[in-house]
Amino acid sequence: MYLATRYAIYSAALITEATATFMSPPSWNKRMTTRPFTSLYRRVPHICKFLSSMPSDQLQYAEIPFWNNIQTPLPKQTCKMHIIAIWNTKG
């Protein structure tokens, strides 16, 4: 997640076209400030913004039809998701 965040910040800073990246990193019932990639957000607050959090009980998997009509049971979400935007000035 750190490398993906770093790539999004560099691409927003270096690309001359309008760009915006929305990320939804998980939070395993821990504070967001303990995540290594949050140090990147704090360094460039003019292009990074924490938008919101989604609690785990509001997250659902999409039911995708499989070619053989067999559904694979997926585990219930146990962590909430943050929503973060990274953009450049044109974005």
Measure the CA angle with vertex 49, ends 48 and 50; round to 5°: 135
Domain locations in the chain? 2-87
State residue 88's pLDDT score.
Answer: 86
Region 66-86: mean pLDDT is 79
Question: Please, are residues 82 and 33 in contact by the beta-carbon 8 Å criterion?
Answer: no
pTM of the predicted protein model? 0.67
Question: Please, are residues 83 and 20 in contact by the beta-carbon 8 Å criterion?
Answer: no
Torsion of CA 54, 26, 38, 16, to 10 degrees: -80
Alpha carbons 71 and 75: distance in angstroms, whole number: 13
Instruction: Assign 84 to helix, strand or coil.
Output: strand
pLDDT band at 30 (very low <50, low <70, confident <90, very high): low
